[in-house]
Amino acid sequence: MNGTPTDRLGVERFADKAPRPWNNGHGSTRELARRLLGVVGPDFVWRISVAEVTDEVELSTFHGVQRTVMPVHGGGMTLDVDGVAHTVAPFETFRFDAEARVFARPDDGAVQILNVMTKSARMVAHIDVVDLRVGAHSIAGATSWVQLTGSASVHTTDDRQADLAPLDTLVPRPRVRVLHGTGRGAVVRMTNYRAYHATA
């Protein structure tokens, strides 16, 4: 890395993220990034986190929140949402109402889950997986980038850069534009709720 302070580029280091208990106490999560609803307080517009599930477990519920989940390490998983089973393969996304009663069950050993939560009446999350081995990727317009595997370097239009390790997260600052690397990453984009439903 060239010595640029990573916080000036919007890099959040996974190594700095301490595990926190789930609201229901059945597991723990590491929050990667969030945008607050106000200047202070616990409420958020969106929140990105990662959790490991080793056995069948009930997920926490959140009022007025939409979840989008993706298995990113390990195998796939089965989600039981209000009694209906859904199979979610690695790097596939599944969106559901966080007020529902949901059980998650790994299909083959422990699974690490990327979890994006949004205020239902404000934002809708979209997650796309990009393989940087194919070539450089522009992140213009992205809300965040989560490095899933391998490594990456983020570059700006004024020649600054920072390196990303697995599960490091980038919430791009102005002039942050291009990623080069050897692994996969998740591009997270947020769409205004009203705009999304007007075109859906």
- State residue 198's pLDDT score: 47
99 lies in the same domain as 190: no
115 lies in the same domain as 136: no
166 lies in the same domain as 75: no
Residue 3 lies in a domain: no
| The last residue of a domain, from among 69, 96, 120 | 120
149 lies in the same domain as 78: no
Residue 78 pairs with which residues in a beta bridge? 87, 105
Residue 51: CB atoms within 10 Å: 21
pLDDT tens-digit map of 86-110 = 999 999 999 999 999 999 999 989 9
CATH number at residue 187: 2.60.120.10
Please give the residue range of the domain that contains residue 193.
9-13+126-199
- Rounded mean pLDDT of 164-180? 88
DSSP state of 43: -
- Per-residue pLDDT band for 123 (boundaries 50, 70, 90) equals confident
Distance separating alpha carbons of residues 119 and 57, to the nearest angstrom = 23
Helices (H), the chain: 193-199
Residue 8 in tokens: 């000036």
At 179, which amino acid appears?
Answer: L
**Is 61 within 8 Å of 98 (Cβ atoms)?**
yes
Predicted TM-score (pTM) of the model is 0.87
- State residue 4's pLDDT score: 44
- State residue 7's pLDDT score: 65
DSSP state of 49: E
